[in-house]
Amino acid sequence: MTLNHNEVNLLNSAITDGNPNIYSLFSKKGKEIYFPSKGVLQQGNAAKGKRINATIGMAIEDNMRPMHLQSLDKWIPLDPLKVYPYAPSYGISPLRKRWQDLIKEKNPSLNSDISLPVVTNGITHALSIICYLFVNEDENIVLSDKYWENYDFIFQYGGKARLNLFNTFSQNGFDVASMEEKLEGKNKKQIMILNFPHNPTGYTISVNEAERITEILKKSADRNNKILVLLDDAYFGLVYEDGVLKESLFSKLAQAHPNILAVKMDGVTKEDYAWGFRIGFITYGCQSSTEALYKALEAKTAGAIRGNISSGPHLSQSLLLNALTSTSYSQEKKEKYNLLSTRYLVLKSTLEENREKYKPYFKPLPFNSGYFMCVQLNPGLDAEVIRITLLEKFSTGVIAIDSMIRIAFSSVSEKDIPTIFDNLYHACQMFS
Ligand SMILES: Cc1ncc(COP(=O)(O)O)c(C=O)c1O
């Protein structure tokens, strides 16, 4: 079948009528994608509730219930209707609405309209779908020089884009000036990824840095640059210090400027400790937008998902919806936050108490949130050699990244945290 130009044009007009700057951000593929409102899906929907429905590609029992196997069902205390049928490509509606409400609750300064979140198969998938929709080959993506390595796979190897890196830190904070340099020029398309709490460093910007970043982006947008800001909020909510940005930058950027499209990518993977559920969300926010524009963005997103995984798992979406509407949810989350926060504090005091002792070998990079922190090894020490030594001589596993060692305090019990650093110290001593 050929591309349905009519359907594509309807969506593209809704976007250009709402805000033509947003349309100019789409990739070639993104401009052409649509969610089919006709065809198999529409014909299937039209037949819902009819006495005989021979439309859907699922198997139905004679009593009209979804066919399923007892050996699966005995493990799942949910209505089979919420488990076995396909979920929509957009994700199930009550979950999308609930997640949107939660975004607003968790980001109280977000005052503008936002799209309804579209469900993805985890945050990696959200990033890949955004790459499909907005990134053309050879385009630049601005991000900090310390970054989650999967961005290489998604944007560089998958999207054939170029990563244009700025310094992550200057002294003890985010290198806002270095970021600004990458957003110079006018009348251009700019794409930037920001990830707080950050992987690998565990850093979240201060409230003041968030203000400065917002101002820089607005200034760039005033120069008629069209800016796509991708906010990878995988570790949202896990902030352990005062003065650090507790809300997502989305609150500011979704209402910053008609030339800025903010895309929030978040999910239950890290923040709700459900790594294997594979549920993420894509949510859009732009100062100048309309209901029809948001619907078109959602439709293009769902169209890209349809051509990629068809739809996400229904079972985990139903389970999650139950959790997110449960009365004990917030309390349970708080307990887990407290546990991670305690580990963070123990780690911080271990480093403070031993600052002079560790100084000849390594120093911590700024950290205040998330799952991780990094230490920078002093010149002459090889991170990979230290990692292997820690494994072989100290039975301790860490990640070596360039000349840094990344420590996931999220996965280590409080009592073992001082030991990690003691082991690291002794491993470094062996090579000095
Ligand atoms: C910054 C960041 N974004 C996204 C992800 C991936 O999330 P998901 O497992 O939901 O794909 C990770 C996982 O390590 C991450 O560190």
Q: What is the tens place of the pLDDT at every residue in 120-166?
A: 999 999 999 999 999 999 999 999 999 999 999 999 999 999 999 99
Residue 1 has pLDDT above 80, yes or no: no
Average predicted confidence (pLDDT) for the chain: 96
Residue nearest to atom 3 of ligand 1 (CA): 234
pLDDT digits over 181-217, tens only? 999 999 999 999 999 999 999 999 999 999 999 999 9
Q: Which residue has the higher pLDDT, 245 or 111?
A: 245
For ligand 1, the distance from its centroid to the CA atom of residue 119, given in whole angstroms, is 15
Amino acid at 385: V
The rounded distance, in Å, linking the Cα atoms of 249 and 209 is 11
In this structure, what token pair is assigned to residue 337?
């936050």
Q: How confident is the model at residue 2 (pLDDT cuts 50, 70, 90)?
A: low
For ligand 1, the distance from its centroid to the CA atom of residue 250, given in whole angstroms, is 18
pLDDT digits over 14-49, tens only? 999 999 999 999 999 999 999 998 778 778 888 888
Work out which ligand 1 atom sits closest to the CA atom of 126.
11
For ligand 1, the distance from its centroid to the CA atom of residue 234, given in whole angstroms, is 6
Instruction: Report the pLDDT value the prediction gives residue 43, as an integer from 0 to 100.
Output: 83
Q: How confident is the model at residue 288 (pLDDT cuts 50, 70, 90)?
A: confident
Pocket lining for ligand 1, CB < 6 angstroms = 122-124, 148, 195, 199, 232, 234, 267, 269, 280
pLDDT digits over 312-362, tens only? 999 999 999 999 999 999 999 999 999 999 999 999 999 999 999 999 999
- pLDDT (mean) for 417-427: 98
Q: What does DSSP assign to residue 154? A: I
**Which among 120, 37, 39 is positioned nearest to 301, based on CA atoms?**
120
Length of the chain measured in residues? 432
Cβ atoms of residues 217 and 260 within 8 Å: yes
- pLDDT (mean) for 283-306: 96
Q: What does DSSP assign to residue 378? A: P
Whole-structure pTM value? 0.96
Instruction: Report the pLDDT value the prediction gives residue 51, as an integer from 0 to 100.
Output: 85
Cβ atoms of residues 66 and 80 within 8 Å: yes
In this structure, what token pair is assigned to residue 270?
């890290």
> What percent of the chain clears pLDDT 90, i.e. is strictly above it?
91
To test the ligand 1 pocket, which listed residue (143, 148, 238, 263) has its Cβ within 8 A of the most ligand atoms?
148
Cβ atoms of residues 119 and 312 within 8 Å: yes
Instruction: Report the pLDDT value the prediction gives residue 46, as an integer from 0 to 100.
Output: 82
- Which H or E element spans position 376? strand 372-377
To test the ligand 1 pocket, which listed residue (120, 124, 265) has its Cβ within 8 A of the most ligand atoms?
124
The rounded distance, in Å, linking the Cα atoms of 22 and 229 is 12
Lowest mean pLDDT of 33-37, 83-87, 390-394, name the range: 33-37
For ligand 1, the distance from its centroid to the CA atom of residue 342, given in whole angstroms, is 23
- pLDDT (mean) for 414-430: 97
To test the ligand 1 pocket, which listed residue (127, 129, 130, 150) has its Cβ within 8 A of the most ligand atoms?
150
**Which among 294, 273, 274 is positioned nearest to 282, based on CA atoms?**
294
